């Protein structure tokens, strides 16, 4: 029986960003250098497949530092940690490696500088996300207010509206954030903006790549984990363009009913999803469809971040 035709428009860039690549490499090199086990506080990046692969190599994932035994190295995840975490590690004499993405660290340093300059920071982000917890942990309690929506920005009644600054999480929706920032700028004309956009290059590029193909697609499949902020945002970006969109953690999570009547599928992956999982999904689709693949490149990325000094010498 001939298989029905299915066109795949594959977004580029997609998948791993420079920060995720670096974080995974840090764990791998730490295992090579210090031997297993190497402890990792929090999922190094939000992807189960990555976490399981690193576990197989000798990484042990824990939620909190007090679960790390004395005398073994510990790695902090790409999302960043509150200042108290490295301080507690140092107090216990633990050797630690910080896999915080340099673009998250940049937001941390800006938060410190703004607070030192006496500003109150409005931080646009999602409550409970580890990056938000890490960034709030750079400044004294009360120095920063979390804003999750344009409605919250409208309702806000700051004590000193002339003395505000804003920062954002790196993995937000570019469009939703623009709405919130427009409210800030209208209501608080003196608000200090960050020197450069805090939404990182990888998040913006992946969203732009989805936008470029979404209207040509009947369905957008986003390979990524439900707790991966930038992956969930990619689903929302496609939906905003009027295209049905689904998050697919692994190929086996695909529901064939989603493909009923579908002729063109858009495919992308969040910044923490390995390309292997994209190929796995394409291979599964090919078992039932005659696939035509077309990669649509909107930007070429060539950024790479340096490893921590301790590992460069390894």
78 makes contact with ligand SF4 (CB under 6 A): yes
Is 170:125 a contact under the CB 8 Å cutoff?
no
Closest to 63 (Cα-Cα) out of 78, 48, 50, 44: 44
Residue the block writes with tokens 């953690």: 249
User: Which member of 43, 64, 131, 280 is catalytic?
Assistant: 131
> Could you tell me which of 148, 174, 202 has the C-alpha nearest to residue 22?
202
Query: What residues contact 5, with CB distance under 8 A and at least 6 apart?
Result: 263, 289, 290, 292
Segment near ligand SF4 (CB under 6 A), from 100-108, 116-124, 159-167, 177-185? 100-108
Select from 14-22, 90-98, 210-218, 250-258 the region that touches ligand SF4 (CB under 6 A). 14-22
Please report whether residue 20 would count as binding ligand SF4 according to CB under 6 A.
Answer: yes
Q: Is 66 exposed, middle or buried (0-12, 13-18, 19+ CB in 10 A)?
A: exposed
Smallest distance from ligand SF4 to CB 270, Å: 8
In three-state secondary structure terms, 165 is strand
CB of 107 to ligand SF4, least distance (A): 9
Pick from 59, 97, 101, 247 the residue near ligand SF4 by CB under 6 A.
101
Does the footprint of ligand SF4 cover residue 210 (CB under 6 A)? no
Per-residue mark of binding to ligand SF4, 224-253 (x: CB under 6 A): ------x-----------------------
Name the residue whose CB lies closest to ligand SF4: 19
Shortest approach of ligand SF4 to residue 23 CB, angstroms? Answer: 7
Round to whole Å and give the CA distance between 129 and 126. 6
Which residue from 38, 121, 202, 210 is in contact with ligand SF4, where contact means CB under 6 A? Answer: 202
Task: Check the CA dihedral 92-97-101-102 and report its sign.
Answer: positive
131 is catalytic: yes
Residue ranges in 103-132 that form contacts with ligand SF4 under rule CB under 6 A = 103-104
By CB under 6 A, name the one of 47, 138, 170, 205 that touches ligand SF4. Answer: 170
- Choice between 90 and 178, CB closer to ligand SF4: 178
Give me the half-sphere count of Cα atoms (radius 13 Å) on the Cβ side of residue 200: 23
Q: 44-73: which residues touch ligand SF4 (CB under 6 A)?
A: none
Residue whose CB is less far from ligand SF4, 144 or 202: 202
Query: Which ranges of the chain would DSSP assign to H, the alpha helix?
Result: 18-34, 48-57, 84-91, 102-116, 130-136, 150-155, 174-187, 201-214, 229-240, 275-286, 309-312
Which pair of tokens denotes residue 262? 């579908």
Shorter beta-carbon distance to ligand SF4: residue 100 or 264? 100
Q: Does residue number 17 form part of the binding site for ligand SF4 (CB under 6 A)?
A: yes
Contact 288, 14 (CB under 8 A): no
Structure tokens at 208: 């732009």
Only one of the segments 13-21, 90-98, 185-193, 220-228 lies at the binding site for ligand SF4 (rule: CB under 6 A); that segment is 13-21
Stretch that binds ligand SF4, among 81-89, 139-147, 197-205, 216-224 (CB under 6 A): 197-205
The DSSP code sequence of 47-73 is: -HHHHHHHHHHTEEEESSGGGSPTTS-
Query: Can residue 172 be called a binding residue for ligand SF4 (CB under 6 A)?
Result: no
Which residues are at the interface with ligand SF4 (CB under 6 A)? Answer: 17-20, 78, 101, 103-104, 170-171, 200, 202-203, 230, 271
Q: Annotated active-site positions, please?
A: 131
């Amino acid at each position: 029986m001939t298989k029905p035709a299915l066109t795949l428009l594959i977004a580029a860039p997609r998948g791993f960003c420079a920060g995720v690549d670096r974080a995974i490499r840090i764990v791998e090199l730490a295992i090579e250098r210090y031997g297993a086990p190497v402890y990792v506080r929090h999922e190094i990046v939000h992807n189960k497949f990555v976490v399981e692969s690193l576990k197989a190599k000798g990484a042990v994932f824990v939620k909190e530092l007090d679960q790390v035994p004395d005398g073994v190295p510990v790695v902090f995840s790409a999302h960043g940690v509150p200042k108290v975490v490295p301080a507690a590690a140092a107090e216990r004499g633990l050797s630690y490696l910080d896999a915080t993405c340099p673009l998250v660290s940049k937001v941390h340093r800006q938060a410190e500088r703004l607070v030192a300059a006496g500003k109150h920071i409005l931080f646009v982000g999602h409550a409970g996300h580890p990056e938000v917890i890490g960034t709030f942990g750079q400044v004294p309690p009360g120095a920063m207010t979390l804003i999750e929506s344009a409605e919250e920005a409208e309702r806000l009644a700051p004590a000193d509206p002339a003395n505000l600054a804003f920062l954002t999480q790196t993995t937000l929706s570019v469009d939703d954030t623009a709405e919130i920032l427009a409210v800030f700028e209208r209501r608080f004309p003196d608000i200090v903006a960050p020197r450069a956009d805090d939404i990182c290059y990888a998040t913006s590029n992946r969203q732009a790549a989805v936008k470029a193909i979404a209207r040509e697609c009947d369905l957008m499949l986003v390979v990524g984990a439900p707790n991966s902020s930038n992956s969930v945002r990619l689903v929302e970006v496609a939906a905003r363009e009027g295209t049905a969109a689904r998050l697919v953690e692994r190929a086996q999570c695909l529901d064939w009913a989603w493909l009923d009547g579908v002729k063109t599928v858009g495919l992308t992956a969040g910044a923490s999803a390995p390309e292997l999982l994209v190929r796995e999904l394409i291979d599964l689709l090919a078992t039932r469809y005659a696939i035509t693949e077309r990669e649509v490149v909107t930007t070429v990325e060539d950024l790479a971040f340096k490893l921590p000094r301790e590992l460069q010498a390894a």
